[in-house]
Chain A
Amino acid sequence: MRLSHRWREALTGLSFVCIWIVGFLIFTLFPLVRTFLFSLNEVRITAEGIRTQYIGWENYRAALFLDVQFGDILVQYAMETLVTVPIIVVFALMMALLLNIKVRGRGVFRTIYFLPVVITSGPVIKQLIDQGATTLPGIEDVVEMSLLEQMLPGLIADIVTYLLGSFITILWFSGVQMLIFLAGLQKLDASMYEAASIDGASRWETFWKLTLPMMNPMIVVNLVYTVITQSVFALNPVIGYVQDAMYDPALGMGYSAALAWLYFAVMLILLGLFVLLVRQRKR
Chain B
Amino acid sequence: MSLWNRRVIDRWKRVLWGFTGEGILFRLIIYFLLTLVGFVYLYPLFYMVSYSFMDTDDLIDPLVSLLPTGFYVDNFVRAAAVMDFARTLMQTVLVSFLPAALQTASAALIGYGFARFRFPLKPVLFALVLATFVIPPQITMIPQFLMFQQLGLLGSIFAYLIPAIFGQGLKSGLFILIFYQFFRSIPKALEEAAQIDGAGPYRIFAVISVPMAVPAFIISFLFSMVWYWNETTLAALYLGDQLRTLPLQLQQFAATYQKLYPVAPNSQTGRSLNEAINMAGTFLNMIPLLIVYFVAQRWFVESVERSGITGE
Contact = CB atoms under 8 A, between A and B. Distances in A.
Chains A and B come from one and the same complex: yes
B106 A19 contact: yes
Query: SS class of chain A's interface: helix, strand, loop or mixed?
Result: helix
Given A101-B30, A111-B301, A116 B41 contact: yes
Given A28-B132, A115-B293, A127-B278, A171 B41 contact: yes
A50 interface: yes
A179 interface: yes
A162 interface: no
Interface in B38-53: 38, 40-44, 47-48, 51
A126 B163 CA distance: 28
Interface string A107-126: 10111111111111111101
Given A111-B297, A112-B38, A127-B279, A168 B110 contact: no
A211 interface: no
Contact of B110 (A19, A113, A180, A257): A19
Contacts of A267: 136
A31 B146 CA distance: 10
Contact of B138 (A15, A23, A134, A243): A243
Interface stretch (A4-12, A58-66, A81-89, A150-158): A4-12
Interface residues of B, number: 89
Contacts of A120: 230
B41 A112 contact: yes
A180 B119 CA distance: 31
B38 A109 contact: yes
B278 A131 contact: yes
B117 A32 contact: no
Contact of B166 (A22, A116, A131, A180): A22
Contacts of A268: 134
A124 B282 contact: yes
Contacts of A6: 118
A246 interface: yes
B135 A13 contact: no
A133 interface: yes
B208 interface: no
Contacts of A17: 110, 113-114, 119, 125
**Which residue, A11, A22, A50, A179, has most C-beta atoms of chain B within 10 A?**
A179
A231 B310 contact: no
B201 interface: yes
A30 B171 CA distance: 18
Contacts of A16: 109-110, 112-114, 116-117, 205
B265 interface: no
A234 B113 CA distance: 33
A130 B278 contact: yes
A73 to B, nearest CB: 14
A134 B44 contact: yes
A180 B142 contact: no
A82 to B, nearest CB: 18
A221 interface: yes
A20 B282 CA distance: 37
**Which residue, B141, B142, B229, has most C-beta atoms of chain A within 10 A?**
B142
Interface of B: 21, 27, 30-31, 33-35, 37-38, 40-44, 47-48, 51, 65, 106, 109-110, 112-114, 116-120, 122, 125, 128-129, 132-144, 146-147, 162-163, 165-168, 176, 201, 205, 226, 229-233, 237, 247-248, 250-251, 253, 275, 278-279, 281-282, 285-286, 289-290, 292-293, 297, 300-301, 303-305, 309-311
Given A24-B128, A239-B136, A271-B134, 16 more contacts: A13-B122, A17-B110, A19-B166, A35-B140, A107-B301, A109-B34, A109-B35, A118-B226, A119-B293, A121-B247, A122-B230, A127-B250, A224-B134, A246-B142, A260-B136, A263-B139
16 contacts: A10-B118, A20-B113, A24-B166, A31-B142, A35-B142, A123-B253, A127-B281, A133-B47, A171-B41, A179-B304, A180-B310, A224-B134, A263-B138, A264-B136, A264-B138, A268-B134
